[in-house]
């Protein structure tokens, strides 16, 4: 049960300190005093004492990593429910049932919101309404492609390159002879920015979880380079001089 | 002013939905996003530098999200990440990248271009650093008042 908690938290984008303290908290509530945890960027090592000098140690892997804050909220709610009287099998079942654990917002809403957010961001840098429309269309298209590729189990980095390529091409074509084309391109790519990775990285580094912090930081840097590769490919096709 | 408020509203709401934030945390995220946009804008109007005003806005997000996370029992991360998207310096990053592409393809002798793109690149990294440090800092020295689990 503890491992399931940790795995879920690690999969859905929690920082290391949060994973560790919530596992410890749940262990205390389940009545287990001694516990050793080692957290890797994509795995958890748990060691529980059972009897005299006999330890149960096991390694659990987190299969994928995405961002899903509702799941974090639900897992913490389950930890709160644990006490002497509660039915443990039921809680474990609740943790294992992924569908009910993290109800996603409807797909079309997320797609629309990706477009709206990036469009509004272009207004922040002084774009006009036409730029807003271009960023909206480009990022909606990009988000659609992104979720399509991830559904078919593409390598995430390659899919990021492809998505940023397509987004830049479409926003660049829409604003081909416009002076503010750079605003449209720069803001339509925004939904790919690895903000969770960067903030988690600094969070971990300052709380002395150096390994996970470094790995998350490197992951963020790789994602941003992938975005840059996609954009530069697209701009070479369209002609660099037009978009300075 | 109204434009800024609506920008903050839409950007923070849409990224909260993209990151699948819980429904009861949407209103605090929107409040934080609007506050961050307004703080950054008015500090820039009073001639503070971009880095410093971003830092203060991120600090505001970190500080207020501690309050909300205590009240609603949700990790700080949920509030901080979705609302700090408004501070990301995309145009600077884009200009730096464009400059580097131009240098690498042709225009080797153009010194002004090299210095300009270096300037934009450094600025992007500094602003990124300001965002992350500004968010993380309040959670460090207010450890006592932190969220029960976190």
**Three-class SS state of A31:** coil
Closest residue in A to B91 (Cα–Cα)? A186
In whole angstroms, how large is the CA radius of gyration of chain B?
Answer: 18
When pLDDT is cut at 50, 70 and 90, the band that residue B148 belongs to is very low
> What's the rounded Cα separation, in Å, for the pair B149 and A44?
19
State whether residue B20 sits within 8 Å of chain A by CB: yes
Rounded alpha-carbon distances, angstroms, from residue A103 to A70, B19, B23, B47: 7, 12, 11, 45
Segments of chain A scoring below 70 in pLDDT: 1-13, 83-91, 93-103, 240-244
In this prediction, residue A135 carries a pLDDT of 85
Q: Quick one: which of A218, A60, A7 has its CA closest to A210?
A: A218
Question: Taking residues B116-121, what's their average pLDDT?
Answer: 90
Q: Quick one: which of A70, A94, A71 has its CA closest to A82?
A: A94
In this prediction, residue A243 carries a pLDDT of 64
In this prediction, residue B56 carries a pLDDT of 92
**Contacts of residue A182 in chain B, CB cutoff 8 Å?**
91, 94-95, 98
Residue B24 has pLDDT above 80, yes or no: yes
**Three-class SS state of B124:** helix
**Contacts of residue A21 in chain B, CB cutoff 8 Å?**
149-150
Edge-first strand order for the sheet with A43-49 is: A36-40, A43-49, A55-61
Query: How many helices (H) and strands (E) would you count in chain A?
Result: 11, 3
A52 close to A239: Cβ distance less than 8 angstroms: no
* Percentages (nearest 5) of helix, strand, coil residues in chain A: 70, 10, 25
For residues B61 and A12, the model is more confident at: B61
Per the listing, tokens 């709610």 go with: A77
Residue B146 has pLDDT above 60, yes or no: no
Q: State chain B's mean pLDDT as an integer.
A: 83
Question: Taking residues B71-76, what's their average pLDDT?
Answer: 81
When pLDDT is cut at 50, 70 and 90, the band that residue B84 belongs to is confident
Residue A40 burial class via C-beta count within 10 angstroms: exposed 0-12, middle 13-18, buried 19 and up = middle
Window B:76-135, CB contacts with A under 8 Å: 77-78, 80-82, 84-86, 88, 90-91, 93-95, 97-98, 101-102, 105, 128, 131-133, 135
Domain chopping of chain B, boundaries:
2-87+129-145
When pLDDT is cut at 50, 70 and 90, the band that residue B122 belongs to is very high
Residue A233 burial class via C-beta count within 10 angstroms: exposed 0-12, middle 13-18, buried 19 and up = middle
Residue B48 burial class via C-beta count within 10 angstroms: exposed 0-12, middle 13-18, buried 19 and up = middle
CB count in 10 Å sphere of residue A210: 11
When pLDDT is cut at 50, 70 and 90, the band that residue B53 belongs to is very high
In this prediction, residue A13 carries a pLDDT of 63
**Contacts of residue A231 in chain B, CB cutoff 8 Å?**
94, 97
> What's the rounded Cα separation, in Å, for the pair B10 and B26?
11
Number of residues written out for chain A: 244
When pLDDT is cut at 50, 70 and 90, the band that residue B149 belongs to is very low
For residues B44 and A55, the model is more confident at: B44
In this prediction, residue A84 carries a pLDDT of 64
Give A135-145 pLDDT, tens digit per residue: 888 888 888 88
> What's the rounded Cα separation, in Å, for the pair B97 and A51?
60
Give A177-231 pLDDT, tens digit per residue: 777 777 888 888 888 888 888 888 888 888 888 888 898 889 888 988 898 888 8
């Amino acid at each position: 049960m503890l491992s399931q908690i940790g795995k879920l938290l690690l999969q859905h984008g929690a920082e290391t300190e949060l994973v560790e303290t919530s596992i410890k908290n749940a262990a205390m509530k389940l009545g287990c005093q001694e516990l050793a945890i080692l957290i890797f960027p994509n795995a958890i090592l748990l060691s529980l004492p059972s009897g005299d000098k006999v330890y149960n140690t096991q390694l659990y892997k987190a299969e994928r990593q995405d961002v899903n804050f509702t799941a974090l909220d639900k897992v913490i709610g389950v930890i709160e429910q644990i006490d002497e009287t509660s039915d443990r099998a039921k809680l474990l079942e609740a943790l294992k049932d992924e569908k009910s654990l993290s109800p996603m917002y409807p797909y079309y809403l997320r797609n629309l919101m990706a477009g709206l957010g990036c469009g509004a961001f272009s207004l922040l840098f002084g774009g006009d309404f036409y730029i807003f429309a271009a960023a909206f269309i480009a990022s909606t298209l990009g988000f659609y492609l992104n979720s399509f590729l991830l559904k078919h189990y593409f390598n995430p980095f390659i899919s990021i390159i492809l998505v940023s390529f397509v987004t830049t091409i479409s926003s660049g074509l829409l604003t081909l002879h416009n002076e503010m084309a750079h605003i449209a391109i720069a803001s339509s790519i925004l939904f790919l920015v690895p903000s969770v990775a960067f903030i988690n990285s600094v969070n971990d580094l300052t709380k002395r979880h150096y390994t996970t912090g470094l790995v998350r930081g490197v992951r963020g840097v790789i994602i941003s380079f992938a975005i840059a590769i996609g954009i530069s490919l697209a701009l070479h096709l369209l002609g660099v001089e037009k978009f300075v | 002013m109204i434009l800024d408020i609506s920008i903050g509203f839409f950007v923070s709401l849409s990224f909260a939905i993209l990151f699948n934030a819980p429904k009861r945390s949407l209103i605090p995220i929107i409040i934080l996003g609007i506050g961050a946009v307004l703080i950054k804008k008015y500090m820039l109007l009073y001639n503070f530098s971009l880095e410093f005003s971003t830092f203060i806005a991120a600090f505001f997000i970190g500080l207020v999200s501690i309050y909300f996370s205590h009240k609603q029992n949700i990790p700080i991360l949920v509030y901080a990440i979705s609302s700090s998207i408004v501070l990301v310096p995309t145009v600077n990053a884009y200009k730096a990248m464009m400059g580097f592409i131009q240098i690498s393809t042709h225009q080797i002798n153009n010194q002004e271009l090299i210095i300009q793109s270096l300037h934009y690149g450094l600025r992007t990294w500094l602003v990124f650093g300001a965002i992350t440090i500004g968010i993380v800092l309040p959670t460090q020295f207010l450890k006592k008042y932190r969220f029960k689990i976190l």
